[in-house]
Structure 1
Amino acid sequence: MPATPLDRDDLRTRVSAALRAQLHRQRGRLALVGPELGPVADALADFLEGGKRLRPAFAYWGYRAAGGANSEAVVRAVGALELVQACALIHDDVMDGSDTRRGKPAVHKRFAALHADEGYGGSADGFGTAAAILLGDTCLIWADEMLDRSGMPADALERARPVWDEMRTEIMAGQYLDVLAQAQGGHSVDRAIRVVRYKAAKYTVERPLHLGAALAGAAPDLVETLSRYGLPLGEAFQLRDDVLGVFGDPAETGKPAGDDLREGKRTLLLAYAAERATPAQEELLDRYLGDPELGAEGVEALRGVLVETGALTRTEERIGSLTRRALDALNNAHVDAEAADALAELAGAATTRKA
Structure 2
Amino acid sequence: MLDLATELSAWAEEGRDFAVATVVAVSGSAPRGPGAALAVDSEGTAIGSVSGGCVEGAVYELCQQALADGETVLQRFGYSDEDAFAVGLTCGGVIDILVTPVTARSPARAVLSAALSAACKDEPTAVARVVRGPAELLGQALLVRPAGSREQGDSGVGVGSYEGGLGGHPELDRTAAAEARAMLDSGRTGTIELSASGARWGSPRTESGGGSHCSGGLTLLVETRVPPPRMIVFGAIDFAAALVRAGKFLGYHVTVCDARPVFATRTRFPEADDIVVDWPHRYLRRTETDSRTVLCVLTHDAKFDVPLLKTALRMPVAFVGAMGSRRTHADRDRRLREVGLTDGELARLRSPIGLDLGARTPEETALSIAAEIVATRRGGTGVPLTGSGTPIHREAGERGAVAAA
TM-score, normalising length: structure 1: 0.27
Q: Larger strand proportion, structure 1 or 2?
A: 2
The structure that has the greater radius of gyration is 2
Q: Report the structure, 1 or 2, having the larger helix content.
A: 1
